[in-house]
Amino acid sequence: MQHKPKRSRAIALPNSEFRARATEYLDFLAAWVKKPRQTASVVPSSRFLARLMVAHIDPTDGRVMELGGGTGVFTRAILKTGLPPEKLEVVEINPAFARGLRRHFPAVSVLETPAQIVSTVAAGEAGQYQTIVSGLPLLAMDRHMHADILSEAFRMLRPGGGFIQFTYSPRPPVSRDVLDALNLDVERVGQTVRNFPPATVFRFFRRGE
C-alpha cells in the first residue's frame, strides 16, 4: 500500500500584513546600517514584546505618547488596545521612519522632535498623559541623556502615570543615582525570549504614587 506524502502546513500571512512586515524589516535594517547605535538592533521588535509594552494602557483613560516610533510595531499595538488615534503622539527623529509612520498611521500625530524637548510641540499639556511608551535605545545613551529624557517624560505624565521602557539587559537601563535624583522608582513588567534579542520591560514611576 502506497502512502501519499504529507503536505507541510505553512501558515500564510495575508498579503497586506506580509508586505507590511517585510517593509518594516527592510526599513529597520537600513536604519541600523546608517546609525547602529541609534537603532540598537538589526530587526524590529516582536509583537510579543509589543504586548508587554502596551499592557498598562487604558484606551478610555487619556493621552499616550510613544518615544522612538521606529517602524511602528509599538504604534500598531497601542492602537490595537482601542486607544483613539487622535489620543496618540509618536516621537521619531529619523526622517525615513517618520515618513513611514505618517504613511501607515495617517490619523496619528508624528513629532520629529528630540524626546528631551517634546513638551514644546506636544498636543496635550503637561500632566495630561497616562502612559509614555519608549522604544529609545537607552543603553546607548549616557546618564545625562537619561535624566533629560525622564525629566521631560514625567513633566508630561499625570500623577500615577508610567514610563514604559524595554531593554536587552535583565537590569533597568537607568542607574539608581539618576532615579534617586528624579525621585523615581522602577519595577519589572515582564520579559520575553520571543524577541531578538530577548528583551525585558520596565515601568518607571514617581515614588509614592
pLDDT band at 175 (very low <50, low <70, confident <90, very high): very high
pLDDT value at 38 more than 50: no
pLDDT value at 3 more than 90: no
Phi/psi of residue 201, nearest 5 degrees: -110, 135
pLDDT value at 152 more than 80: yes
Q: What is the pTM of this model?
A: 0.81
Which of 40-44, 125-129, 195-199 shows the lowest mean pLDDT across its residues? 40-44
Calculate the dihedral angle through the C-alpha atoms of 64, 101, 26, 200, rounding to the nearest 10 degrees: 0
Class of domain 45-206: alpha beta
The secondary element (H helix, E strand) that includes residue 192 is strand 184-192
